[in-house]
């Protein structure tokens, strides 16, 4: 039985629910690619894919609209795969289970994938429609936006023909985006030596949970807790007092998600067994006070655990604690060009023990000023270089420079005012969008980004506001009938 069939616009929600049945983790988009290819072919529309997996489905103009300029509608087909630690879910095989909670649609203990499944659903609704007026449209579905923008990087000139692009991957209804930050990842690898468990020791597991997490672009300015930073602060403090030996550290998963949970396993001399529990209780109370407003569900817990097979050598664990403490997280600078907007930020995204002798740290930097993007990346890199880590910077992706004279922006603003009797906000966004990469391949393309309201994306609390989907749909349809003529 359909869960979302009673929602309006029905055509979008039905397609969205269909998409929820198709597994589509980043870099594992084979099933959703096949799904979209079959969808286009069943409609007898021109359907093609490129070498990396981007799909393009083209639809001719409806009668009387043949003279309008061709519009490219674009969304990404992959989704962030995050779940609560207590949720049993295999993103490679299991469907997403949406449910309605008042004015929101959510998922059961996992990310919902409305980022950007709702954009995919809107394109599918247009392609399958028989009663919607529009000029020639090309629906572009890109792969791997969330973990590397690989689809946008690999898009070749000539794959699409339109010079107007509507990116359907924004998350604030009533706002139209005309620019975005660029980004780069800084990856650090620490090598360690396994050492035997010291005599007269006991092992504990320290857990940090209950944080909100969220998108490392959209939510980075909301002062949300970072589980890696909160856990490491306690480890750093007790390391100065006791002979702490680290056996494991695991926090966060994805470069573009603020980490919500983390744990560490440490071995400590038995004589400090009672004292560390006292220290943990004091620290937990302090953090509950610090994060009372921003993170009211924060939990910091200590539990006894089985003795690990080995511990990390003392020098490397010391260096790790110092580097994680020194590594910045959150807003680095606010913009002076666009008041109220984040200019530069860093996300200390993930810390993992990998292979047999490595600790891998993932960080992600964003800025709408290119030189500052590299400056913050070097800042982060230096913190880990001083700890003896091997540093690698990703290729990065460009920002999208705002064009306040954009013709399609003017169409979209007038359309919104006409429909809803209020002027929309036109601004840049700190999150990364694929638009900057599209401009490298199609320098004359005129583009905007807009969408319904989503909250807490990249976390299991992800949700989409039902009413704004209807407004987004009406706005999209009105833009399409008001596209300029050739």
Report the candidate in 459, 482, 58, 5 with the shortest Cα–Cα distance to residue 260: 459
Dist. CA 393–CA 273, nearest whole Å: 41
Query: Which residue, 207, 228, 164, 162, is CA-closest to 447?
Result: 164
- Catalytic one of 29, 123, 144, 145: 145
Q: Which residues pair with 201 in a beta bridge?
A: 269
| Token pair for 52 | 């990396």
User: Distance between CA 475 and CA 168 in Å, rounded?
Assistant: 12
Contacts 24+ apart (CB under 8 A), 81-89: 81/25, 81/26, 81/110, 81/111, 82/110, 82/111, 82/213, 82/253, 82/254, 82/257, 82/260, 82/458, 82/459, 82/460, 83/109, 83/110, 83/111, 83/460, 84/109, 84/110, 84/460, 85/209, 85/261, 87/460
Helix, strand, coil percentages (3-state) for the chain, rounded to 5, are 30, 30, 40
Among 29, 78, 171, 219, the one annotated catalytic: 78
Asked if residues 36 and 127 have their Cβ atoms less than 8 Å apart, the reply is no
Is 78 annotated as catalytic?
A: yes
Strand partners, 354: 358
E strand intervals along 337-476? 342-354, 358-367, 390-393, 425-429, 446-449, 454-455, 463-465
Long-range CB contacts for residues 21-25, cutoff 8 Å, separation at least 24: 21/95, 21/96, 22/95, 23/91, 23/92, 23/93, 23/94, 23/95, 24/77, 24/78, 24/79, 24/113, 25/78, 25/79, 25/81, 25/91, 25/92
Catalytic residues: 78, 145
């Amino acid at each position: 039985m359909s869960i979302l069939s009673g929602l309006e616009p029905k055509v979008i929600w039905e397609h969205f629910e269909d998409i929820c049945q198709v597994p589509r983790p980043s870099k594992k988009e084979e099933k959703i690619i096949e799904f979209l290819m079959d969808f286009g072919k069943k409609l007898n529309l021109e359907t093609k894919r490129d070498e990396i997996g981007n799909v393009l489905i083209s639809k001719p103009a409806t009668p009387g609209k043949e003279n309008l300029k061709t519009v490219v509608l674009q969304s990404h087909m992959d989704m962030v795969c995050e779940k609560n630690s207590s949720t049993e879910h295999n993103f490679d095989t299991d469907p997403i289970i949406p449910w309605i909670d008042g004015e929101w649609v959510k998922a059961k203990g996992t990310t919902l994938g409305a980022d950007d499944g709702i954009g995919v659903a809107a394109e599918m609704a247009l392609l399958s429609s028989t009663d919607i007026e529009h000029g020639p449209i090309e629906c572009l579905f890109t792969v791997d936006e969330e973990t590397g923008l690989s689809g946008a990087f690999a898009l070749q000139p000539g794959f699409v023909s339109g010079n107007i692009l509507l990116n359907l991957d924004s998350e604030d209804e009533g706002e139209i985006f005309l620019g975005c930050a660029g980004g780069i990842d800084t990856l650090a690898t620490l090598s360690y030596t396994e050492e035997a468990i010291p005599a007269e020791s006991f092992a504990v597991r320290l857990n940090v949970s209950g944080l909100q997490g969220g998108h490392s672009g959209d939510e980075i300015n909301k002062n949300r807790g970072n589980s890696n930073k909160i856990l490491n602060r306690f480890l750093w403090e007790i390391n100065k007092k006791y002979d702490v030996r680290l056996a494991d550290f695991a926090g966060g998963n994805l470069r573009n998600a603020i980490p919500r949970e983390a744990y560490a396993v440490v071995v400590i001399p038995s004589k400090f067994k009672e004292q560390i529990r006292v220290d943990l209780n004091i620290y937990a109370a302090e953090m509950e006070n610090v994060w009372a407003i921003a993170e009211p569900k924060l939990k910091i817990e200590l539990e006894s655990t089985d003795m690990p097979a080995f511990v990390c050598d003392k020098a490397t664990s010391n260096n790790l604690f110092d580097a994680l403490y020194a590594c910045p997280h959150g807003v680095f600078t606010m913009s002076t060009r666009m008041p109220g907007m984040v200019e530069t930020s860093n996300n200390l995204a993930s810390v993992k023990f990998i292979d047999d002798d490595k600790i891998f740290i993932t960080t992600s930097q964003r800025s709408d000023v290119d030189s500052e993007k590299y400056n913050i990346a070097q800042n982060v890199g230096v913190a880990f270089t001083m700890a003896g880590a091997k540093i690698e910077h990703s290729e990065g992706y460009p920002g999208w420079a705002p064009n306040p004279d954009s013709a399609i922006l003017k169409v979209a603003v007038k359309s919104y005012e006409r429909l809803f009797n209020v002027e929309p906000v036109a601004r840049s966004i700190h999150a990364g969008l694929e638009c900057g990469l599209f401009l490298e391949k199609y320098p004359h393309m005129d583009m905007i980004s807009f969408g319904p309201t989503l909250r807490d994306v990249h976390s299991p609390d992800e949700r989409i506001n039902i009413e704004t989907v209807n407004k987004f749909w009406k706005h999209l349809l009105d833009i399409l009938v008001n596209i300029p003529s050739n």
